[in-house]
């Protein structure tokens, strides 16, 4: 089985300029601001995996297809969904 990933940005509320994206730290933590982290990727609320502004990346290998919500623990208005399909 081969999996391919696609990131669908559901909503970003508020104003976030390219400049502030590049000078801020963010996380892509599985779960949602309402229910909290699931612990699947991106750390947890208490111990998030920080993505720095200097071209940092984060990787995670999914072993099942599905839709996985994620959010930024530092900016809870930043949420999105990773869609993993069998390819």
**Residue 82's closest CA among 2, 4, 1?**
4
Classify burial at 14, counting beta carbons within 10 Å of its beta carbon; exposed 0-12, middle 13-18, buried 19 or more: exposed
Site string for Cu ion, 13-52 (x = CB under 5 A): -------------x--------------------------
Asked if residue 75 lies in contact with residue 37, where contact means CB atoms within 8 angstroms, the answer is no
For Cu ion, what does the binding mask look like between residues 58 and 87, x meaning CB under 5 A?
Answer: --------------x-xx--x---------
Instruction: Name the minimum Å distance from CB 19 to Cu ion.
Output: 14
Residues that bind Cu ion (CB under 5 A): 26, 72, 74-75, 78
């Amino acid at each position: 089985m081969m999996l391919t990933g696609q990131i669908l940005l559901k909503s970003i509320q508020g104003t976030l300029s390219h400049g502030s994206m590049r000078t801020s730290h963010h996380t892509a933590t599985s779960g949602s601001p309402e229910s909290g982290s699931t612990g699947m990727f991106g750390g947890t609320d208490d111990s998030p995996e920080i993505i720095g502004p200097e071209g940092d990346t984060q990787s995670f290998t999914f072993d099942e297809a599905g839709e996985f919500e994620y959010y930024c623990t530092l900016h809870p208005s930043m949420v999105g969904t990773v869609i993993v399909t069998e390819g």
